[in-house]
């Protein structure tokens, strides 16, 4: 049986050799160009990584009023835990959480009301129509409720911060927003996935992706002056900038038709000349200052979420903004548009490259086992330029993988980073499926005229038990977090973790209300 299989592989290798060479040449050329693209960004990062992007803090800044907007749909299972935990750990006083709930989502509304009864920082912001619509539409209504309460005498928020129902908010992120929105119109706090076991490949892809993008990609694009796409959470805006945006866009603070309002707002604000800052990853007591959360942990859920990302970031942005010809530094914007959009074709090319590699490996193995000629290898060797290009591509791929492992390893530990090669292949499969689904849904929407809908992802909020020692892989954040986890029902005396941001020391006192001010 084994001999028959080896002979079959050898025969197929010989038959398909002529057709395989053009395919391999095309794949090699694309991978070379894409690899140079990644190499250029990595070199810029290496040149700039020692340059402090945020000036050192000289003295504490007075606390400005910050409104945290929290768009919700069917979040009753997680929202109380999220509010109780975060509000107990935030090291800031002058803020308010406005939780947007649809009128047909009574369970979520009741859960928010129970949390509001325990903590005066929380307020229900009712969306006056049935949901779900889009996250942008929900955010618009939350913002309208903010204006209403300010017109009724509440303190005026000078900054707005966006978060989701699954977020672990770092205790110092509001203080950072308070400081940086003094000079910047948009501030993005880093976002990182929570650690999960090594065998969870799907969530591990998110760990790798966000570790790399938050370590270098977003920092470099902001430093070069390209537009900064928001990450959906941990994104803060100075109030005056939002009002300028609303005035310039017919009062569309967040475009209700945009599936990725964070990316869209980053583009629109850049076009208005807004200064955008990405906060470089920094460590305090062994843990990164970042928003942490669980991302989808199944293949189907990941494809669903990434379908929305691809549709909004790539297809809708392409339709509305083209390649940035009218933007400042158009060639720079076009480069980052290319990097954002190459998932549409690059994921499929990457998946095909993986299959061709496996086929070539099988042919080589069969030829050696049967002491026969490896036809494909001989054909490639007969094309010196192709052999040289494949050798260069191998070096570029090793470099790409090394950078990814470095970014992942410094956050999750080197044992976890060792799984990056397998997760890279799995991520190609997820992205390819998401790209295909996004293209289909976008084309169908254009053909039928039906609007694209909010593809909501089911959220999971970490339990106290999941963050205890041994429940997650070893890593800098996991070690720091597990040392000081305290749930809302546990005594405050149990909280002694480094930095204490997963501890629950009890809610901070509410500041005295200021006098009435005119909204806007």
pLDDT at 490: 28
**CATH number, domain with residue 191:** 3.90.550.10
Cβ atoms < 10 Å from Cβ of 348: 16
pLDDT at 362: 80
Q: How many CB atoms lie within 10 A of CB 3?
A: 9
CA-based nearest residue to 20, from 365, 344, 347, 386: 386
Tokens of 206: 């998110």
pLDDT given at position 167: 94
The rounded distance, in Å, linking the Cα atoms of 478 and 484 is: 10
| Angstrom distance (rounded) from CA 270 to CA 516 | 32
Count Cα neighbours of 433 within 13 Å in the Cβ-side half-sphere.
13
Instruction: Judge whether 279 lies within some domain.
Output: yes
Rg (CA), the chain: 25
Cβ–Cβ under 8 Å, residues 194 and 263: no
Alpha carbon distance 160, 401 (integer Å): 37
Neighbouring residues of 215: CB distance < 8 A, sequence distance ≥ 6: 281, 407, 410
The answer to whether 290 and 271 are in contact (CB under 8 A) is no
Per-residue pLDDT, 498: 32
Numbers of helices and strands, H then E, in the chain:
19, 11
Measure the CA–CA gap between 302 and 304, rounded to whole angstroms: 5
Q: Which of 242, 270, 295 corresponds to the end of one domain?
A: 295
Please tell me the distance from the alpha carbon of residue 30 to that of residue 3, in angstroms, as a whole number.
36
Q: What is the pTM of this model?
A: 0.83
β-bridge partners, 238: 159
Residue 148 lies inside a defined structural domain of this protein: yes
- Determine the Cα–Cα distance for residues 151 and 162; give it in Å rounded to an integer: 22
What is the predicted pLDDT for the residue at 285? 76
- Round to whole Å and give the CA distance between 258 and 452: 8
pLDDT for 127 equals: 95
In a domain, 367, yes or no: no
Host H or E run for residue 126 = strand 122-127
Residue 191 lies in a domain: yes
Residue recorded with tokens 């017109």 = 151
Domain count for the chain, please give it: 2
What does the block give as tokens for 199? 């065998």
Which residues, in sequence order, are CB contacts of 145 under 8 Å at separation 6+? 98, 100, 123, 125, 126
Residue 319 lies in a domain: no
Residue pointed to by tokens 């060797």: 381
Identify the domain containing residue 272 by its residue range. Answer: 66-212+226-295
Residue 455: both structure tokens together: 């593809």
* 387 within a domain of the structure (yes/no): no
Instruction: Report yes or no on 110 lying in a domain.
Output: yes
Residue 48 domain-assigned (yes or no): no
Distance CA 85, CA 88 (A): 5
Give, in order, the Cα–Cα distances in Å from 514 to each of 40, 147, 168, 282, 355.
51, 16, 29, 34, 64
Q: Pick the last residue of a domain from 295, 323, 341.
A: 295
C-alpha closest to that of 473 among 284, 288, 203, 291: 203
For residues 357 and 21, give the distance between their C-alpha atoms in angstroms, rounded to a whole number.
13
Q: Where are the alpha helices (DSSP H) in 91-217?
A: 106-118, 135-151, 173-180, 201-212
For residue 380 the two structure tokens come to 């490639």
Using H for helix, E for strand and C for coil, what is the string for 49-103? CCCCCCCCCCCCCCCCCEEEEEECCCCHHHHHHHHHHHHHHCCCCCEEEEEEEEC
Yes or no: say if 222 and 228 are a contact pair by the CB < 8 Å rule.
Answer: yes
Domain closes at, from 295, 313, 348? 295
Q: What are the tokens at 156?
A: 């005026």
The confidence score (pLDDT) of residue 501 equals 45
Q: For residue 209, what are its two tokens?
A: 């992706």
Q: From the first residue on, what is the mean pLDDT of each consecutive set of 10 residues in the chain (520 residues)?
A: 60 66 92 96 87 59 94 94 94 96 96 95 95 90 94 95 95 94 95 94 97 95 94 95 85 85 93 93 86 94 94 93 90 96 94 87 79 79 91 95 96 95 95 95 88 62 46 36 30 31 38 34
């Amino acid at each position: 049986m084994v001999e028959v299989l080896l002979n079959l592989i050898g025969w197929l290798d010989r038959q398909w050799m002529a057709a395989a060479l053009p395919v391999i040449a095309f794949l090699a050329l694309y991978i070379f160009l894409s690899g140079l693209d990644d190499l250029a960004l990595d070199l810029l990062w290496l040149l700039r990584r020692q340059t402090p992007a945020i000036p050192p803090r000289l003295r504490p800044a007075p606390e400005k009023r910050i409104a945290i907007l929290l768009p919700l749909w069917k979040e009753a299972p997680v929202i109380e835990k999220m509010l109780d935990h975060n509000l107990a750990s935030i090291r800031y006083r002058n803020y308010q959480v406005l939780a947007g709930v649809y009128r047909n989502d009574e369970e979520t509304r009741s859960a928010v009301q129970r949390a509001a009864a325990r903590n005066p920082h929380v307020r229900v912001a009712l969306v006056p129509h049935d949901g779900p619509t889009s996250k942008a539409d929900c955010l618009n209504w939350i913002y309208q409720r903010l204006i209403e309460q300010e017109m009724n005498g509440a303190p005026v928020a000078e900054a707005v911060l966006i978060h989701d129902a699954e977020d672990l908010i770092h205790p110092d992120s509001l203080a950072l927003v308070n400081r940086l929105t003094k000079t910047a119109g948009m501030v993005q706090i880093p976002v990182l996935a929570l650690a999960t076991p090594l065998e969870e490949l799907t969530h591990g892809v998110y760990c790798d992706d966000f570790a790399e993008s938050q370590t270098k990609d977003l920092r470099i694009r902001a430093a070069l002056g390209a537009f900064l796409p928001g990450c959906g959470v941990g994104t803060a805006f100075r109030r005056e900038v939002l009002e300028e945006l609303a005035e310039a866009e017919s009062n569309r603070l967040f475009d209700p038709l945009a599936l990725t309002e964070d990316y869209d707002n980053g583009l629109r604000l850049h076009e208005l000349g807004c200064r955008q800052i990405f906060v470089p990853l920094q460590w305090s007591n062994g843990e990164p200052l970042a928003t942490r959360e669980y991302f989808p942990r199944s293949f189907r859920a990941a494809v669903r979420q990434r379908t929305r990302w691809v549709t909004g970031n790539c297809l809708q942005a392409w339709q509305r903004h083209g390649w940035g010809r009218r933007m400042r530094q158009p060639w720079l914007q076009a480069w980052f548009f290319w990097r954002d959009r190459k998932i549409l074709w690059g994921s499929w090319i990457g998946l095909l490259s993986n299959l061709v590699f496996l086929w070539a490996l099988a042919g080589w193995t069969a030829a050696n086992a049967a002491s026969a000629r490896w036809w494909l290898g001989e054909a490639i060797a007969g094309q010196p330029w192709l052999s040289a290009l494949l050798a260069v591509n191998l070096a570029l791929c090793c470099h790409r993988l090394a950078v990814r492992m470095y970014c992942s390893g410094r956050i999750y530990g080197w044992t976890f980073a060792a799984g990056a090669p397998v997760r890279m292949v799995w991520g190609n499969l997820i992205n390819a499926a998401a790209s295909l689904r996004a293209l289909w849904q976008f084309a169908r929407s254009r053909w039928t005229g039906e609007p694209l809908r909010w593809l909501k992802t089911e959220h999971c909020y970490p339990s106290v038990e999941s963050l205890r020692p041994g429940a997650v892989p070893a890593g800098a954040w996991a070690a720091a977090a597990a040392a000081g986890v305290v749930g809302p029902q546990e005594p405050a005396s149990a909280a002694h973790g480094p930095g204490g941001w997963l501890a629950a020391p009890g809610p901070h006192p509410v500041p005295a209300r200021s006098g009435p001010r005119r909204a806007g």
